[in-house]
Amino acid sequence: MKKQKTGKTKLNAEISLPSGVTASLSGQSLAITGPKGESKRKIRQHNVKIMLENSKVIFETEKSTKRDKKLLGSLKAHVNNMIKGSIHQHNYTLKICAGHFPMTVAVADNNLTIKNFLGEKVPRVLQLKEGAAVKVDGQLIHVISTSKETAGQVAADIEQLTRRPGFDSRVFQDGIYIINKDGKELK
């Protein structure tokens, strides 16, 4: 007796765009524009077709494997983050903790400079990524961007700039730490 092949059906995923948000597609590059700005992303999955119809973004695959279902879920999450960023922008908040030495943090010419970190004579400098706005407000640093990945990476780079490996973090608490990730408080 021969086993019959079961036909794999196509998978579709649709995302409706809210009013005031437009999408454009050129090749595999998707751009979403809203009131707060534009967010772009290249979608390089060869087995996924992207289409725009009636203010909807549609993803389609030929097979309905578990891998393709997971891939469609990830793509939907990325596009939803792009929509949220173009409407509200993504905001990460960091706190400056200086217990032993007063630390000076300043943003100028696309560079973040930290002076007098633990009494160091040479300032620590970070070149900021394009597409992220960084504001220093007293003891807080706000990183704002339409791209969630850019905002998160810049916040992580700032946190890593004051990292001190080999020291006990319970004793040496000086540094800059992420306290809010896009609306989610960290404990």
Residue type, position 135, single letter = K
Q: The domain at 11-87 falls in which architecture? A: Alpha-Beta Complex (3.90)
Return the domain boundaries, the chain: 11-87, 90-185
Q: What is the pLDDT of residues 132-143, one digit of tens each?
A: 999 999 999 999
Q: Would you state the pLDDT for residue 11? A: 86
Provide the CATH number for the domain formed by 90-185 in this structure: 3.90.930.12
pLDDT class of 82 with cuts at 50, 70, 90: very high
DSSP 129: P
Mean pLDDT of 104-124: 93
What are residue 124's phi and psi, to 5 degrees? Answer: -95, 130
Q: Would you state the pLDDT for residue 7? A: 54
* CB-count exposure of residue 76 (10 Å: 0-12, 13-18, 19+): middle
Length of the chain: 187
